[in-house]
Amino acid sequence: MITLGIEGTAHSIGIGIVENQNNYCNVLSNVIKTYRPETGGIHPREAANHHAEHIANLIKQSLTEAELKLSDIDLVSFSQGPGLGPCLRTAATAARALSLRLKKPIIGVNHCVAHLEIGRGTIKECTDPVLLYTSGANTQVIAFAEGKYRVFGETLDIGIGNCLDKFGRSIDLPFPSGPIIEKNAENGSNYLPLPYSVKGMDIAFSGLLTRAQQYIKEGKSINDICYSLQETTFAALTEITERAMAHTEKEQVLLGGGVAANQRLRTMVKMMAEDRNAQFFVPRKDLCVDNGAMIAWLGYVMVNSGITMNIDETSINQRFRTDMVEVSWR
Amino acid sequence: MTEQTILYQGAEAKIIKSTYLGNKVVQKQRVHKRYRINEIDDFLIQSRTKEEAKVMGLSRTIGVNVPIIYDVDLAKGCITFEYLVGERIKDIFDKITDEERKHLCERIGMQIGLMHNAEIVHGDLTTSNMILVEDKVYFIDFGLSEINAEIEARGVDLHLLMEAMESTHSTHASFFSSVIDGYQKTYEGDVSLVQKKIDDIIRRGRYR
């Protein structure tokens, strides 16, 4: 079965085509186009306009790369939520049009669960991980327990990516700021104390962000602030992940989301895993960020387990919680 | 050297069974984490050990059931406690009858109410951190506790327990209302304000 997935929850529009190979996800193509605002953060309507402009070409491009024709597609999957309304609606509209035109089934999937399932689908040893999902809007620690994917820990205020971007904006860095902060941090070595806010398995960043911004005003070295910001937030993220692993008694950890590209975060989580004799996994980079392949794969997994959806059940859900998904495939 | 056995290796500390002045004891030894830099590691280990011992001492004086502390070693990040013989609430919670569970949750809530009266916030209220000794609910692991007078902190404290019950005891998560019933019996402030905070936090959480 060949599935085409459309991802459009936030700043990226992605089309991925995947095929099942002995319960393993074979990614045939995975093309992504990212909206980058000239100033400030993501404007939902402008991001949606960007997606609408590029989606048709991306579908063509994904087919060319996969060496397939439109008629080879057996299933259309799309990101039903959570995310920005205008972006979600653009992706969903394209998915409905494609499904009706091809007369092929459609399925809407949960974006957060897709980040976890793509790890399980593309990394053979990765069977039952705790996922540390870190992106702009989302910061969640997710694991499978009692029949559902459950959120064991999450941010109480803003996502880690959002925290980094807001900090970046106060020193005039472009969006996304994470990669530049990472570079700056490599040149910093003097630790400036920042509030460390872990509540059980939950985490908060806004107080720390304010303090980091005060350091800028105090004229502290930007490299040192970036270093301190990364060390503090990533230590806290690693700590809540370890707590969730201890709590759920799981021995695998998986990273997902755009911030998982950060080498320092990877190193910290990997060290933590090694010290608990746990396995550490990160999907390929294009499967870590928001992408269509993960949406396609989760769609396939759901349909394969017997779930079906009519067009009138494909309304988007901006607040689609991870634990709202009925998991019939595990 | 007394005989030592590791009872549990948690996320942040080793729990060791040992003896101290002829008594059976439990030692909580915080462990260094390679993944974080020394500045953060030392700060977290020392401040959490100190805060934990301080808050537990205070808890005992106001009638909250906690193990007795025999010794605190800040440099080592080690606290020596009385050894409790009982069962983890996590292990029994789903096995008892509804009536027993209701009663248990009320007692949990009553104890939390006492803590909050003294401005103590436990910070990690999960059923793994509660031990039933005969008919008393004991609280352990005050590692993330603090003295905080804000209603917000009390809301966060109870919200954490609610989430822990939803994720770990999902079929009996509705018993959280019995925790609030118990809380109401001992908490001297306005419970409706705390309840409002819990509701605020639920709404504030992403995508709810």
pLDDT for B205: 60
A320 touches chain B (CB under 8 A): yes
B26 and B109 both lie in a single domain:
no
* Cα separation, A20 vs A26, whole angstroms: 6
Inter-chain touch A271–B206, beta carbons under 8 Å: no
CB contact residues (below 8 A), chain B span 56-115, against chain A: none
Check residue B203 and give its pLDDT.
Answer: 82
* Per-residue tokens: A255: 């990273």
Residue B55 and residue B147 in contact, taking contact as beta carbons nearer than 8 Å:
yes
**Token pair 């002829």 in the structure block, residue:** B22
Residues B68 and B9 in one domain: yes
- B196: domain CATH number is 1.10.510.10
Say what the pLDDT of residue B2 is: 64
Indicate if B121 and B198 belong to the same structural domain: yes
User: What is the least distance, in Å, from the CA of A194 to any CA of chain B?
Assistant: 9
Residue B203 contacts A, CB cutoff 8 Å: no
How confident is the model at residue A41, as a pLDDT? 79
Q: Can you give the pLDDT at residue A199?
A: 79
Residue B71 CA, distance from chain mean position: 19
Q: Of B51, B82, B113, which marks where a domain is finished? A: B82
The predicted pLDDT at position B167 comes to 84
Q: Is A196 on the interface with B (CB under 8 A)?
A: yes
B33 and B104, same domain (yes or no):
no
**What number of other Cβ atoms are within 10 A of residue A310's Cβ?**
8
The pLDDT value given to residue B12: 87
Does B126 sit within 8 Å of A200, measured CB to CB? yes
Write the pLDDT tens digit of every residue in B51-103. Answer: 899 999 999 999 999 999 999 999 899 999 999 999 999 999 999 999 999 99
Residue finishing a domain among B44, B66, B82 = B82
Question: Which residue type is seen at A229?
Answer: L
Q: Is the pLDDT of residue B206 over 90?
A: no
Domain co-membership, B143 together with B190:
yes
Distance from CA of B167 to the nearest CA of A (A): 6
CB pair distance less than 8 Å for B207 and A320: yes
Does residue B71 sit in the same domain as residue B9?
A: yes
B204 touches chain A (CB under 8 A): yes
Among B82, B97, B123, give the residue marking a domain's end: B82
- Residue B205 with chain A: CB contacts under 8 Å: 154, 156
The whole-chain average pLDDT of chain B stands at 93
- Rounded to a whole number of angstroms, the distance from the CA of A207 to the nearest CA of chain B is 15
- Is the pLDDT confidence value at B173 over 90? yes
Does B15 lie in the same domain as B74?
A: yes
The DSSP-derived string for A48-117 is: HHHHHHHHHHHHHHHHHHHT--GGG--EEEEEEESS-HHHHHHHHHHHHHHHHHHT--EEEEEHHHHHHH
* Closest-approach residue (CA) in chain B for A245: B11
Helices and strands (DSSP H and E) totals, chain B: 6, 10
| Two structure tokens written together for B182 | 């118990």
A-chain CB neighbours of B10 within 8 Å are: 246
Nearest residue in B to A142, CA atom? B167
Note down pLDDT in tens along chain A; length 330 residues: 999 999 999 999 999 999 999 999 999 999 999 999 888 778 999 999 999 999 999 999 999 999 999 999 999 999 999 999 999 999 999 999 999 999 999 999 999 999 999 999 999 999 999 999 999 999 999 999 988 999 999 999 999 999 999 999 999 998 889 999 999 999 999 999 999 998 778 899 999 999 999 999 999 999 999 999 999 999 999 999 999 999 899 999 999 999 999 999 999 999 999 999 999 999 999 999 999 999 999 999 999 999 999 999 999 999 999 989 999 999
- Give B93 to chain A, closest Cα distance, Å: 15
Contact A148 B170 (CB under 8 A): yes
CB contact under 8 A, A200 and B40: no
Going from the C-alpha of A144 to that of each of A113, A214, B42, B161, the distances in angstroms are 10, 40, 33, 19
**Rounded percentage of chain B residues whose pLDDT exceeds 70:** 97
> Among B131, B137, B138, which residue's Cα sits nearest to residue B104?
B137
User: Are B104 and B200 members of one domain?
Assistant: yes
Contact between A301 and A121 under an 8 Å Cβ cutoff? The reply is yes
Q: What is the pTM of this model?
A: 0.85
CA distances from B187 to A221, B108, B110, B183, B190 (A): 47, 12, 7, 6, 8
Find out whether B7 and B15 touch, Cβ atoms under 8 Å.
yes
Strand partners, B132: B87, B137
> Given this model, what pLDDT does residue B207 score?
41
A6 Cβ contact partners less than 8 Å away, ≥ 6 residues apart: A13, A14, A15, A55, A76, A77, A78, A79, A91, A94, A95, A98, A292, A295
CB contact under 8 A, A269 and B35: yes
Q: What is the ipTM metric for this complex?
A: 0.90
Q: Does A157 touch chain B (CB under 8 A)?
A: yes
Structural domains counted in chain B: 2
Element (H, E) at B25: strand B23-30
Q: For position B106, what pLDDT does the model report?
A: 97
In terms of pLDDT, which residue wins out, B168 or B113?
A: B113
Distance CA B123, CA B144 (A): 5
Tell me: do B30 and B101 sit in the same domain: no
A200 vs B160, B166, B208: nearest CB: B160
Q: Annotated catalytic residue: which of B41, B124, B141, B181?
A: B124
**Does one domain contain both B132 and B193?**
yes
Nearest by Cα to A54 from A256, A261, A292, A286 = A292
Q: Do A151 and B204 touch (CB under 8 A)?
A: no
Owning domain of residue B43: 5-82
Q: What is the CATH number of the domain that holds B41?
A: 3.30.200.20
Prior bond to A37 cis, omega within 30?
no
Whether B121 and B184 share a structural domain = yes
| DSSP letter string, A301-313 | HHHHTT----GGG
pLDDT for B208 beyond 70: no
- B124 labelled catalytic: yes
Q: Cα B85 to the chain's mean position, in Å?
A: 17
Q: B2 to chain A, minimum CA–CA distance in Å? A: 26
Same domain membership, residue B33 and residue B136: no
Spell out the domains of chain A, with CATH numbers in brackets. 2-116+287-324 (3.30.420.40), 128-282 (3.30.420.40)
- Which amino acid, residue A13? I
- Would you say A134 and A264 are in contact if contact means Cβ atoms under 8 Å apart? no
Going by their DSSP bridges, the two strands A139-145 and A75-81 should be labelled as unpaired
Q: At residue A247, what are phi and psi to the nearest 5 degrees? A: -65, -45
pLDDT tens readout for residues B122-165: 998 999 999 999 999 999 999 888 899 999 999 999 999 998 99
